Amino acid sequence: MNYRHGYHAGNFADLLKHTALCELLRLLTAKDKKLFVLDTHAGAGGYDLGSEQARRTGEAEAGIARLTAEARAGMPAAVVRYIAAVQAYDRKFGPSRGALQRYPGSPRLIRAALRPGDRFVACEMHPQEALLLKREFAGDRAVEVRQADGYHALKELLPPVERRALVLIDPPFEAIDEFERLARAVRHGLRRFPIGCYAIWYPIKDEAAVSSFFASLSEVKCLRMELDLGPRVPEGKLAACGLVVINPPWKFEEAMREALPWIAARLGDGVRAAFFASSASADPDARK
Ligand SMILES: C[S@@+](CC[C@H](N)C(=O)[O-])C[C@H]1O[C@@H](n2cnc3c(N)ncnc32)[C@H](O)[C@@H]1O
């Protein structure tokens, strides 16, 4: 387990995943009913953008920094809300000095959206990252941090007593069988709790692996969206990724169809956002 999200926090993959996460949380907490949130691969919780890790890759500079530099006029509402959540986290560490100093990981974005009575479990397996995550939420009784395998937690914690859940699955894809493990976990989760909302991030490096992952979910109705930086990305670096949302709430698709192309245009020429109506088709012609 070598992956550290500190190298990648605030990059293009986070822009996709976290804009969507903020929207899902907003829509799912709009109803006056309790929500259970499970973050299966939570990371450290929050990241210092001035750290050696972040400066070495420059991914936040090429990602979130491009969005925070934009004027709010004409910005899609989902992006405005996402940036507001990012800046609110940054302000916890002191008054703004212009550029962002800190970036919130998924657990921080989730925590900020929780209402009294909602429940949140964040799993992180790496001992060092889990320790950082525990420190991030020390004394906060609204967050249960587990140093645990998120795939096991998914089996253990579904169905939730609340009967409403958002499950974020964001693996590092270091293991060669990660897609297979992921597919098994999602199918298992759906068997236990078919009405849950599942948001699953995936890298696009091996098209065949992505296709067979979606083939394994061919019966599942979902919204799939992707962000592709194009051919200028150096060899070996992640150039494209996607997020699939099973059982998305009403209005989610509309918000993302407005937000994602706008984000893509801010990331550079040739950066593309694509939407697939459902997992049943992996054919690019299905892109709208
Ligand atoms: C992509 S990062 C998570 C980023 C985080 N979700 C965010 O958006 O801020 C993936 C994390 O999963 C952890 N991890 C790897 N395998 C795991 C497993 N089976 N269960 C829980 N965490 C795992 C890694 O240590 C890493 O911190």
Nearest CA to ligand 1 atom 4: 43
From 5, 14, 137, 173, give the residue whose CB has the most ligand 1 atoms within 8 Å, as the site to mutate: 5
pLDDT of the residue at 287:
39
CA 125 to centroid of ligand 1, rounded, Å: 7
Beta strand 272-276 pairing with 165-169: unpaired
- How far out from the chain centre does Cα 122 lie? 13
Residue 284 main-chain phi, psi, to 5 deg: -55, -25
Residue with more model confidence, 55 or 277? 55
pLDDT of the residue at 232:
85
pLDDT of the residue at 277:
75
Ligand 1: lining residues by beta carbon, under 6 Å: 1, 3, 5, 17, 40-43, 105-106, 123-126, 129, 149-151, 170-172
Q: For residue 224, what are its two tokens? A: 């799939």
∠ Cα 158 164 169 (to 5°): 55
Nearest CA to ligand 1 atom 8: 106
Q: Say how far apart CA 201 and CA 224 lie, in whole Å.
A: 10
Where are the domains positioned within the chain? 5-280
From 124, 174, 179, give the residue whose CB has the most ligand 1 atoms within 8 Å, as the site to mutate: 124
Nearest CA to ligand 1 atom 13: 41
Q: What is the mean pLDDT of residues 6-30?
A: 98
Lowest mean pLDDT among 8-12, 118-122, 280-284: 280-284
| Model confidence at 96: pLDDT above 80 | no
Residue-wise pLDDT for 152-182, tens only, equals 999 999 999 999 999 999 999 999 999 999 9
Q: How many CB atoms lie within 10 A of CB 81?
A: 19
| Model confidence at 285: pLDDT above 70 | no
Average pLDDT, the chain: 94
* CA distances from residue 161 to 31, 198, 245 in whole angstroms, order as listed: 17, 17, 22
Q: Give 281's pLDDT tier (boundaries 50, 70, 90).
A: very low
Q: For residue 1, what are its two tokens? A: 């387990």
DSSP string, 38-104: EESS-TTSEEETTSHHHHHH-TTTTTHHHHHTS-STT--HHHHHHHHHHHHHHHTTSS-BSB--EEE
5-280 fold: Rossmann fold (3.40.50)
pLDDT of the residue at 282:
42
Tokens 């605030």 belong to which residue? 10
CA 43 to centroid of ligand 1, rounded, Å: 5
What are the catalytic residues? 170
Q: Give 1's pLDDT tier (boundaries 50, 70, 90).
A: confident
Q: For residue 185, what are its two tokens? A: 């976990």
Residue-wise pLDDT for 203-254, tens only, equals 999 999 999 999 998 889 899 999 999 988 988 899 999 999 999 999 999 9
